[in-house]
Amino acid sequence: MGGTKANPYFWRMNKLRLLFSVFFIFVFTSCSDENDHVQESPRSITIVLSKQNSSSSYRHFIEDIDPTIKINWIDAYTTPLSQLTDDLEEADGIILTGGVDIHPGLYGNAYDTVRCGTIDSKRDALETTLLDHALESGTPCLGVCRGLQFMNVYMGGSLHPHLPDTLSDIHRGKDGQSTEHEIYVTKALGAIDINRGNKSATVSNHHQGISRLADNLEAWAIAPDGLIEGIRHPDTTHYPFFIGVQWHPERSDPSGSLATPIGEGFLKAVLNETGVKKNTDTSEILPRVRDSSSTQVIMIDNGLSHKVDIQMH
């Protein structure tokens, strides 16, 4: 008994229907997954400034790296402590900004107030709170100028109360104005795209600086007179971005190798903290000038001694 021969036309039509069905299912699923991903991604990040300056230079410095990112800025200095506690729980990054002198009593030299300028004890206490949170949570933290100094004091180090008396006068211009001098990188950092041996002119305006480096910090950059200009926490697993710089990257030439990479590294750490995935390659945002011609090996004597406990009153 002979069977009915299949019609080739209908066989081809059924095959096409099957292929189209698979195609539309794939497209729909892909679109749904993409939309779900967009909805799950945070629309903004929150960064806490220890004290916002009048020019908003720190904000512009970070915002200019990727203008597509919405940043919620918190000025800790003007925020009530009860509100700041809640804000810190939502914070994705912390910047300790430049400012007035740290009370020398915090590093065991209370009599050195005569060699200090303006002292703000409220800010000392505030930045202690910020560093408490940064070290407890691992939140990315960048210290600039005074910020680097306070990181060192908080961790048990000490400061030169007045650099012209003990080291040199290259760090501040006449009449308290900003000046420029070179910085030498002595250690490469994974968190920032800066190579060992780099040197670059940076903006400087300070009369104090690190005297004894805290035991739990390590130096990665110095000035021509030997002053430590860059520090980080050595435990980069728990603290991938706990970095301080003595100069002002937010006011330095953005094409310099020690300006924009500082902000890029901080922002990358913040985005990693929030889980935001950006398609932008931040290494292409601003041009950089790298000078790897220097192979000078610079030895740093940290002068380590016993750790001093900080007492806040």
Written as six digits, the tokens of 260 are 């924009």
The pLDDT assigned to 7 comes to 59
The pLDDT assigned to 257 comes to 81
Distance between CA atoms of residues 214 and 194, nearest Å: 23
Q: Which long-range contacts (CB under 8 A, 24 or more apart) does 26-33 make?
A: none
Q: Which residue in the list 145, 171, 207, 264 is annotated as catalytic?
A: 145
The pLDDT assigned to 49 comes to 98
- Amino acid making up residue 307: K
Q: Is 116 a catalytic residue?
A: no
pLDDT in tens, 122-178: 999 999 999 999 999 999 999 999 999 999 999 999 999 999 999 998 899 887 789
Q: Is 248 a catalytic residue?
A: yes
The pLDDT assigned to 11 comes to 53
Predicted confidence pLDDT, tens digits, the chain (313 residues): 554 455 555 555 565 566 555 555 544 444 444 444 333 444 689 999 999 999 999 999 999 999 999 999 999 999 999 999 999 999 999 999 999 999 999 999 888 887 888 999 999 999 999 999 999 999 999 999 999 999 999 999 999 999 999 999 889 988 778 998 999 999 999 899 889 999 998 999 999 999 999 999 999 999 999 999 999 999 999 999 999 999 999 999 888 889 999 999 999 999 998 874 344 444 443 333 233 333 232 333 333 223 333 333 3
Q: Which residue in the list 206, 248, 264, 273 is annotated as catalytic?
A: 248
CB atoms within 10 A of CB 24: 10
Q: How many CA atoms lie within 13 A of 129 on its CB side?
A: 23
Bridge partner residues of 70 (DSSP): 44
Q: Residue 163 CA to chain centroid, in angstroms?
A: 26
pTM assigned to the model: 0.76
Distance between CA atoms of residues 24 and 92, nearest Å: 40
Q: Which residue in the list 127, 141, 229, 250 is annotated as catalytic?
A: 250
Q: Which long-range contacts (CB under 8 A, 24 or more apart) does 299-302 make?
A: 300/186, 300/219, 300/222, 300/226, 300/228, 302/212, 302/213, 302/219
Asked if 239 contacts 233 with a C-beta cutoff of 8 angstroms, the reply is: yes
- Amino acid making up residue 64: D
Tell me 161's DSSP state: S
- Amino acid making up residue 284: E
Specify the residue for token string 């790897």.
Answer: 292
Written as six digits, the tokens of 303 are 């002068």
CB atoms within 10 A of CB 138: 17
pLDDT in tens, 83-109: 999 999 999 999 999 999 999 999 998
Q: How many residues are listed for the chain in this entry?
A: 313
Q: Residue 232 CA to chain centroid, in angstroms?
A: 10
Asked if 13 contacts 19 with a C-beta cutoff of 8 angstroms, the reply is: no
If you classify domain 46-284 with CATH, what class do you get? alpha beta
Distance between CA atoms of residues 220 and 117, nearest Å: 28
Positions of E strands within the chain = 44-49, 70-75, 93-96, 141-144, 158-160, 179-185, 199-204, 209-212, 218-222, 228-232, 242-245
